[in-house]
Structure 1
Amino acid sequence: MSKVDYGKTLNLLQTEFPMRGNLPQAEPKLQQQWEEAGIYKLVQGSRKGKPKFILHDGPPYANGDIHIGHALNKILKDIIVRFKTMQGYDAPYVPGWDTHGLPIEQAIANGGKVDRKKMSVSEFRDYCKDYALQWVEKQKSQFQRLGIRGDWENPYVTLQPKYEAQQIRVFGGMVNKGYIYKGLKPVYWSPSSESALAEAEIEYKDKQSTSVYVAFDVQDGKGKLPQDAAIVIWTTTPWTLPANLGISLHPEFDYAVVEANGRKLVLAQGLLEAAAKEIGWSNYNVLSTVKGSELEGVLCRHPFYDRTSLVMVGDHVTLEAGTGCVHTAPGHGEDDFVIGQRYKLGVLCPVDDQGHMTAEAPGFEGMFYEKANKAIVDKLQESGHLLQMSTITHQYPHDWRTKKPVIFRATEQWFASIDKFRSEMLEEIKRINWTPTWGEIRLHNMIAERGDWCISRQRAWGVPIPIFYCRSCNEPLVNETTIEHVAAIFEQEGSNAWFTRSEQELLPAGTVCSCGHTEFRKETDIMDVWFDSGSSHQAVLETREELQWPADLYLEGSDQYRGWYNSSLITGVAVTGQSPYKGILSHGFTLDGEGRKMSKSLGNTIDPNQVCDKLGADILRLWVSSTDFQADQRISDNILNQTSEGYRKIRNTLRFLLGNLSDFEPTRDRVAFSDLSELDRFAVIRLNRMADKVIKAYDSYDFHVVYQTIHHFCAVELSAFYLDILKDRLYANAAADVQRKAAQTVLYDALMAITKLIAPILPHTADEVWKHIPGAELPTVQVAYLPEVDASVFNDELEQKWESFIELRDDVLKALEEARKDKRIGNSLSAAVHLYPNAEAAKLLGSFERLDLLFIVSAVVVHEAGAAAPDGAHTFKSMAVAVTNAEGEKCERCWIVTPEVGHDDEHPTLCKRCSTVIREQA
């Protein structure tokens, strides 16, 4: 008779789910299918009427391709939105873009295609708008390539007319409450941008500065100081000395009058030793000491101008450096301005918009402020007031766009008064859910310590400040009526109407100033771009039907504590009295594999677009989930390759599950939990433990725990244990055998659970798997719900028993591996193992049937507890293991070695089990 091909009688893997993901090719095709199916609307429709969860998107800036930080941020948001949707929430996601500001102005002005000087402001703004919208479209496609699900057809963009109108209304709400005012105050000023800057637009970098110690001669010592003495100040900004109007001391510090180098000089006693060393006094004598409070009102002479400097006292003076005598120029420092106002000094700021000294600094007019340093130092040297000069390197504020130094400069600007509602903001901060928890302290301190918000900018590309000035009395005109009139125009035409329409067209008919005049001019400044994005809660959450205010979560990088979190809280509390977000989740920054900051100059950047093209978006998403994102994360080609290995393990596990379910029909073949074997019940328990841990980790935003748990379950608990043991039952038992169907029941539940649990992180892979799952009726896993954890199956005693067994099994596997290395056996089925357990292990082993199947060997002999093991046995903590060759012949079908082979004349090369299966299938 013809020879039977017994291999074909096995229940081998059958699935069209490919082993290799080929993600760079497969993902775009799947995304095209999603788009054709209208996946966003489909998903949102499936959750209509469910409780809402709103993650409000902080808008990225529309200028350039996305970078790895963008990818990290958007993927994190997508994971949360997908998880919340599968958890049963209506979780819409509306992506947004920030589109105004200096970088776009610079890109247009420096692009060489337009001559700004030859066009009107409105024409220039049109170029800016087109440029921004081009990048919105480019970034949109790049975000979609990452698998980000959202309302891409209807995003919010800060230049949209409806958005700008709402921003104007937010401003108006703050005006109505008296929070907006115009004032002459020192602000961060960028000569390179010719504009005021907010704190969020400042970054600190090392800068080399001129350090000088300067003597201010006493003109009137008020009987407290000798008339021939001089007060010593220290400054690293000599260019501000032309603006000096006073000297600040601390009222509680002791000040010493010292004799050094033939002069009487005054400085804080607590800094005397350090200053003497810096200035170079080899010998000095303390003549007397006096409290700072007693020197209030002393007059000194300016070192090179014919005016006095008033000695004042203030708590802002410290003993950290210098002399404890602070050069005070109210036009160039916040503390200086405050104390100058208290002493009615006035404000002098002899520096123009470009950073050049003005006529108010005689002798230095026209000099760029930094170049004026040398001329001023020379002047001090010439007049005999320079005690010492050196250069120091220190952290100094820079414009975060131009990367050039900024200065403090008093100019007339529009401000939002923080003091008027600071306490309300601090109370709201207490009510917010903070992840990580230190975020509360960080934002609290920022709000507690910040000054008033300078909201005006001297630029063209942005939302205009909707204020008019009477051409007669020059008083500003702004009220509820004018604000709403402008907002209504912007809602129809956009903010360019401010530049194309006349004042009369922008104002309600019949508008009259309180002085009786009817002629007005428009404010030329625009709003700080942080006011743009900071108004999004009103412009988006309040206006879109599918959203709600406040948001459940804001999720951005940790730099946004001083940025979007800050400005959103200010506008939210100012207008509504409440925070616009219930929770804050922040992430760290992305570093290279060695922990260095990424930069193009170092060549260590990772381009997310290239990662998608080379490895696939799911690999990048898996990397995001594998990191502790709340701290800084590392990424490199090597790290991504390691992530790919982790992905392959998960994918191969899913393929194995699918391949063993090709003949499984869930409604027909499911076996009840009570009818499962103890091994299968243990697997079900571990599956539910895993699902419970993963869902809790998702809920607490511990995505690295999600990844680690799922990966461990697939690689260790399934592949290296349960699935390894199951192969014989799945492949060799009869197709309809109840024990095989029991195993398939467990595999099916594991497949469904894992697929759903990976779906927020690996949406492409999960949807690809979903198409192959038998009985999966929903069109996509994206509308499925998370697996329900069945706590009724938990059995601590059973779990402990099997966990103890796994430890013994690991010992057996180690012994088998050694025997294989020594070439004493081939594969494990050619072996028999002899176990020599201690009493505890013997009792445990005695509670199991078919140890040969559990160890995947052909025979197991358990010797009596305490029996001596033969020489060469492997000794472990609880038992010794001896490995020998199994007795009998190898079954041609299942490869088990047993004396049973040859007992069936019709199938002489099969064991009893396999010959029975063959006969039943015939």
Structure 2
Amino acid sequence: MRWGLRHRRPGPAALAAAWTLWGPPRLPCRPGWRETARGLLVRSVTGASNQLQSSSNGRYRDTVLLPQTSFPMKLLGRQQPDTELDIQQKCGFSELYSWQRERKVKTEFCLHDGPPYANGDPHVGHALNKILKDIANRYHMMRGSKIHFVPGWDCHGLPIEIKVLSEFGGKAQNLSALEIREKARSFAKAAIEKQKSAFIRWGIMADWNNCYYTFDGKYEAKQLRMFYQMYDKGLIYRSYKPVFWSPSSRTALAEAELEYNPEHVSRSIYVKFPLLKPAPKLASLIDGSSPVSFLVWTTQPWTIPANQAVCYMPDAKYAVVKCSKSGNLYILAADKVTPVASALKTTFEVISTFSGVDLENGTCTHPLIPDKVSPLLPAKHVTMTKGTGLVHTAPAHGMEDYSVASQHSLSTDCLVDEDGVFTDAAGPELQNKAVLEEGTDVVIKMLQASKNLLLEEKLVHSYPYDWRTKKPVVIRASKQWFVNITELKTAAKELLKKVKFIPGSALNAMVEMMDRRPYWCISRQRVWGVPIPVFHHKTKDEFLINSQTIEHIVKLVEQHGSDIWWTLPPEQLLPKEVLSQAGGPDALEYVPGQDILDIWFDSGTSWAYVLPGTDQRADLYLEGKDQLGGWFQSSLLTSVAARTQAPFKTVVVHGFTLGEKGEKMSKSLGNVIDPDVVINGGQDPSKEPPYGADVLRWWVAESNVFTEVTISPSALSAAREDISKLRNTLRFLLGNVAGFNPETDSIPVKNMYVIDQYMLHLLQDLASKITDSYKQYDFGKVVRLLRAFYTRELSNFYFSIIKDRLYCEKASDPKRRSCQTALVEILDVMVRSFAPILPHLAEEVFQHVPYVKEPKSVFRTGWINTSSIWKKPGLEEAMESACAMRDAFLGSIPGKNAAEHEVTLVIEPGLLFEIIEMLQAEETSSTSQLNELMMASQTTLLPQEPPSMPADVTELRGTFLINLEGGDIREESAYKVIVMPTTKEKCPRCWKYTAESSDTLCPRCANAVGGK
């Protein structure tokens, strides 16, 4: 012993205490140091082990066990996409879905695919959605569930019809309904094939030969049954009501088919409605000598001709005011006196105030039709946010206006036709004029002529537009089919309480959207869709639908598709028994209706087709946030209507894909990223390299998908860089388990090196966190956990320490086998952890595992498998206390080779000393576990300071707080780290400074080489 007496070896009780569950160490954070996932502070280090590969050039080259694997470090250029295609073929990607369906397993996981729209090329929005679904499915499959996933497509509707008609230009007018339908069908089929082949290329697991399509006869038949079931329950009815109407598409639209344009410009006006008959209380407040008018504000002047009433708020205060400019008397809400006077560039003198209820039974004159009376009526929808507190009411052009009309038996006649043009009933000045253009102009001029216009001004505000033609809509009353959602909403909201929403805020958003929806209009005046199966009487306002007619039509549709509605003569669309009651084949009194069903009803009934069994609910619905008002809602309402239950147990909602700066993607901005270009590269590979599908999948997984998701060249390049680092890690693992057979060569955990046991402890913790993150559909967290583990715990920490043991010990030395035992487990856990996200890379790695003769697919061999004996919380205290000293040592020699130094650790007697002594039993060693961790030439462990030291040493002091058993035992120990240059020479084989001379091997290497 070089310095003083050796500290007494600790007793069994002290050792046992050292290995109990200890709290985390309290480490000081020093400037310029990085904190690892475990709270360790590390610097990048250089050491002999990092340079060893070049030692193979010397005479001992053949004795060094360098990594051996054919797994490539990089796949350059076309190699990445080509390798993926090869892997898909070799590893049976196309058979995986049917293989897992045939397994005898207890649990089933059902993800019901919301159908993408069949009207365009695959885009990054599709990639985001389908890849998220695939990650979820592959995870649940590996956990042992049978996956039920039937991909589908939404094939009907206005967008496809418009695209088809636009191709024909002026000739479109001459196309028959059937011609339009045939062309729309072939258009949708072509889009489906493009999208399907892209989804397959992205590695999406499904039975691609058995998808569902909303234009399939069997699907349509199921939908018609659902329609009749709801009709029979009184939940579907026909009525004359105001609906969103698109003049540019000539059809009614649902809320989900609207886009709101925030830059829309309306011509807002302030209008006088002259008082005709005041209510008694109001009469006493005005002298009767001056004319009095009610002041009304509207952003839709074209609706004034259809006015039937003026509404007020019964419990609000109103005022009679005198205008300083004109001397006229006006009535408006007391709260609006100042802002309205300001808008009219005048001042108002308040003559008197009164309550809204005092307007009851009063009337005023229509501003354009002097002999027409507009009653004053109380209404709940009147607010004080804008306007005058008095609302012009045109029941044919507003949902709230319509409900007022229903209560007070007002006329709901519509003066606007399907083209958004005034009808004859609007009068000669207005007829044939488009309401949103010239019609508005004429109305304003007529108001000026009647001296009832006070002010016209332009107003920029948010206004509904047709989602496809991008043109403004109007509200107009017409006869339509509606779902009575008032009855369904209460039950739906109650059922939603049992559904898990991720993120949780999506639940409130969905409920709010449902609450705002007054009714659901499900009829469309188009031809590309499923016909509403009713027959209208030729002369009377009657229609025919019953169980017999439906059953007959459903059977025809099942066999021949819904084209029969347009191809068969009407008498063949009715069963014989009904036909005889409806005038017979020669004098049939009914004709088939010309409306089709809303595509949200089409797709909203998909659960009935895809989920077998009347009570089956999908485990998961996963779509973009726009579906909170769309497919999620239509699916819920139809399911509640048919069977009083939600169709889903969990709903995951993701954001939209946006450009790098958070802007929408558009061709005009030139920021559209095509998934095919991401995978196969663009015309200029230097600008758009071929990344392959796994980069796309990693980008999806790592994004915070619960908000808006940005994609850019830099994001994709970063994803590739991440995967490149992961490949290097995997290559190291594969290369260093060459020649190792886990069945015969593994070391029992209790006999492994402490650092190897510690890595298994960390691995178990990683596996549990990763599993939990997949369960919560938080794939971004999976990526973050993995990335931290393979860059910090493995590459920066563990690998740099173990290289010497792996390369320079004997092949079968238990020290080396201990390390390899850990590497095998790390490799297996790592690959399974990322397999759902990077299936191509996972399968590629499995092809290169050296100890597996016939590699199986990673997806056919289950989820991560860890052992409870790996979990040893006490190891953390041991490792982190040692690492605190290691970091002090490495921090004192920045950029220098650790192996050129000796280190002495002086630790005061106590628990910390006992812990560190487990890593090095002898006083000084160049081969102990402690020295391996330090990466020094040799390490000395002392309980007290040496009596004397050379002059050229560096001394560092620190303390380490040990916290045992939840704080019951707390012990702070002081330590000193003494660093000095080594006196030994560089070994020509391992390059550690442990040899007596530069041309002789160090004792460890001499032993390893033996007689070679």
- Taking structure 1 as the reference length, what is the TM-score of the superposition? 0.94
Cα distance, 1:330 vs structure 2: 0.1
Preserved contact between residue 104 and residue 132 of structure 1 (Cα < 8 Å): yes
Question: Once the two structures are superposed, what CA deviation does each residue of 1:246-268 show, in whole Å capped at 9, x if it has no partner?
Answer: 10001111211111121111111
Secondary structure at the residue paired with 1:582?
strand
One-letter code aligned to 2:660? G
- Residue 127 of structure 1, aligned match among 183, 186, 189: 183
Give unmatched runs, 5+ long, in structure 1.
821-826, 903-907
- Residue 318 of structure 2, aligned match among 244, 255, 266: 255
Given the alignment of the two structures, is residue 890 of structure 1 paired with residue 890 of structure 2, yes or no? no
- For residues 35 and 466 of structure 1, the distance between their equivalents in structure 2, rounded to whole angstroms, comes to 45
- Residue 209 of structure 1, aligned match among 244, 266, 269: 266
Q: CA 1:866 to 1:886, structure 2 compared with 1: closer, same or farther past 3 Å?
A: closer
- For residues 271 and 514 of structure 1, the distance between their equivalents in structure 2, rounded to whole angstroms, comes to 62
Preserved contact between residue 815 and residue 874 of structure 1 (Cα < 8 Å): no
Preserved contact between residue 670 and residue 741 of structure 1 (Cα < 8 Å): yes
Preserved contact between residue 869 and residue 880 of structure 1 (Cα < 8 Å): no
The equivalent of 1:786 in structure 2 is 863
- Residue 597 of structure 2, aligned match among 488, 506, 527: 527
Question: Once the two structures are superposed, what CA deviation does each residue of 1:770-793 show, in whole Å capped at 9, x if it has no partner?
Answer: 111244466201112112332333
- For residues 639 and 85 of structure 2, the distance between their equivalents in structure 1, rounded to whole angstroms, comes to 40
Given the alignment of the two structures, is residue 829 of structure 1 paired with residue 829 of structure 2, yes or no? no
Cα distance, 1:199 vs structure 2: 0.5
One-letter code aligned to 1:584? V
5 Å-filtered alignment, 1:179-578, equals: 179-206=235-262, 207-223=264-280, 224-225=282-283, 226=286, 228-260=291-323, 261-282=326-347, 284-305=348-369, 306-362=371-427, 363-371=429-437, 372-511=439-578, 518-542=588-612, 549-578=616-645
Q: How many residues align?
A: 902
Question: Once the two structures are superposed, what CA deviation does each residue of 1:540-590 show, in whole Å capped at 9, x if it has no partner?
Answer: 1138xxx98210110001111000000000111111111111111101122
Q: Which one is further off, 782-791 or 661-670?
A: 782-791
Preserved contact between residue 425 and residue 573 of structure 1 (Cα < 8 Å): yes
Given the alignment of the two structures, is residue 765 of structure 1 paired with residue 841 of structure 2, yes or no? yes
Question: Once the two structures are superposed, what CA deviation does each residue of 1:282-328 show, in whole Å capped at 9, x if it has no partner?
Answer: 3x222222222221222211111131111110111011010011000
The equivalent of 1:586 in structure 2 is 653
One-letter code aligned to 2:1010? R
Preserved contact between residue 100 and residue 147 of structure 2 (Cα < 8 Å): no
Q: CA 1:209 to 1:667, structure 2 compared with 1: closer, same or farther past 3 Å?
A: same
- For residues 114 and 279 of structure 1, the distance between their equivalents in structure 2, rounded to whole angstroms, comes to 48
Secondary structure at the residue paired with 1:811?
helix
- For residues 1003 and 869 of structure 2, the distance between their equivalents in structure 1, rounded to whole angstroms, comes to 39
Q: Which one is further off, 10-19 or 839-848?
A: 839-848
- For residues 423 and 370 of structure 1, the distance between their equivalents in structure 2, rounded to whole angstroms, comes to 37
The equivalent of 1:9 in structure 2 is 63
- For residues 324 and 190 of structure 1, the distance between their equivalents in structure 2, rounded to whole angstroms, comes to 29
Given the alignment of the two structures, is residue 680 of structure 1 paired with residue 756 of structure 2, yes or no? yes
Cα distance, 1:642 vs structure 2: 1.6
- For residues 281 and 866 of structure 1, the distance between their equivalents in structure 2, rounded to whole angstroms, comes to 93
- For residues 691 and 782 of structure 1, the distance between their equivalents in structure 2, rounded to whole angstroms, comes to 17
- Residue 656 of structure 1, aligned match among 724, 732, 750: 732
One-letter code aligned to 1:909? T
- For residues 96 and 531 of structure 1, the distance between their equivalents in structure 2, rounded to whole angstroms, comes to 15
Question: Once the two structures are superposed, what CA deviation does each residue of 1:214-253 show, in whole Å capped at 9, x if it has no partner?
Answer: 0011122243345621111000110111111110001111
Secondary structure at the residue paired with 1:327?
strand
The equivalent of 2:21 in structure 1 is none
Preserved contact between residue 58 and residue 555 of structure 1 (Cα < 8 Å): yes
Q: Which has the higher contact order (CA 8 A, sep 6+)?
A: 2
The equivalent of 1:39 in structure 2 is 96
Cα distance, 1:367 vs structure 2: 1.2
Q: Which one is further off, 671-680 or 802-811?
A: 802-811
One-letter code aligned to 1:916? N
Preserved contact between residue 316 and residue 335 of structure 1 (Cα < 8 Å): yes
Secondary structure at the residue paired with 1:286?
strand
One-letter code aligned to 2:311? S
Please provide the CA RMSD for this pair.
Answer: 2.3
- For residues 890 and 252 of structure 2, the distance between their equivalents in structure 1, rounded to whole angstroms, comes to 71
- For residues 395 and 625 of structure 2, the distance between their equivalents in structure 1, rounded to whole angstroms, comes to 33
Give unmatched runs, 5+ long, in structure 2.
1-56, 681-689, 921-927, 960-974
Q: Which one is further off, 66-75 or 809-818?
A: 809-818
Cα distance, 1:69 vs structure 2: 1.4
Given the alignment of the two structures, is residue 848 of structure 1 paired with residue 910 of structure 2, yes or no? no
Preserved contact between residue 191 and residue 355 of structure 1 (Cα < 8 Å): yes
Cα distance, 1:34 vs structure 2: 4.5
One-letter code aligned to 2:919? F
Cα distance, 1:874 vs structure 2: 7.1
Given the alignment of the two structures, is residue 738 of structure 1 paired with residue 814 of structure 2, yes or no? yes
Q: CA 1:138 to 1:548, structure 2 compared with 1: closer, same or farther past 3 Å?
A: farther
Preserved contact between residue 168 and residue 466 of structure 1 (Cα < 8 Å): yes
- For residues 876 and 389 of structure 1, the distance between their equivalents in structure 2, rounded to whole angstroms, comes to 81
Q: CA 1:865 to 1:338, structure 2 compared with 1: closer, same or farther past 3 Å?
A: farther
Cα distance, 1:800 vs structure 2: 2.1
The equivalent of 1:817 in structure 2 is 894
Given the alignment of the two structures, is residue 18 of structure 1 paired with residue 81 of structure 2, yes or no? no
One-letter code aligned to 2:301? P
- For residues 91 and 597 of structure 1, the distance between their equivalents in structure 2, rounded to whole angstroms, comes to 34
Preserved contact between residue 953 and residue 979 of structure 2 (Cα < 8 Å): no
- Residue 804 of structure 1, aligned match among 854, 876, 881: 881
One-letter code aligned to 2:209? E
- For residues 620 and 805 of structure 1, the distance between their equivalents in structure 2, rounded to whole angstroms, comes to 41
One-letter code aligned to 1:889? E
- Residue 954 of structure 2, aligned match among 873, 883, 886: 873
Preserved contact between residue 995 and residue 1001 of structure 2 (Cα < 8 Å): no
- For residues 269 and 537 of structure 1, the distance between their equivalents in structure 2, rounded to whole angstroms, comes to 53
Cα distance, 1:85 vs structure 2: 0.3
Secondary structure at the residue paired with 2:486?
coil
Secondary structure at the residue paired with 2:322?
strand
Preserved contact between residue 229 and residue 266 of structure 1 (Cα < 8 Å): yes
Secondary structure at the residue paired with 2:425?
coil
Q: CA 1:880 to 1:647, structure 2 compared with 1: closer, same or farther past 3 Å?
A: farther
The equivalent of 2:87 in structure 1 is 30
Cα distance, 1:431 vs structure 2: 1.2
- For residues 752 and 359 of structure 1, the distance between their equivalents in structure 2, rounded to whole angstroms, comes to 78
Secondary structure at the residue paired with 1:303?
coil
One-letter code aligned to 1:293? V
The equivalent of 1:690 in structure 2 is 766
- For residues 580 and 506 of structure 2, the distance between their equivalents in structure 1, rounded to whole angstroms, comes to 47
Preserved contact between residue 156 and residue 215 of structure 2 (Cα < 8 Å): yes
Secondary structure at the residue paired with 1:389?
strand
One-letter code aligned to 1:312? L
Cα distance, 1:35 vs structure 2: 5.2
The equivalent of 2:196 in structure 1 is 140
Question: Once the two structures are superposed, what CA deviation does each residue of 1:403-457 show, in whole Å capped at 9, x if it has no partner?
Answer: 1111111111100111222221111111111111112222222223321110001
Identity over aligned pairs, percent? 40
Cα distance, 1:275 vs structure 2: 0.9
- For residues 717 and 204 of structure 2, the distance between their equivalents in structure 1, rounded to whole angstroms, comes to 22
Q: CA 1:398 to 1:779, structure 2 compared with 1: closer, same or farther past 3 Å?
A: same
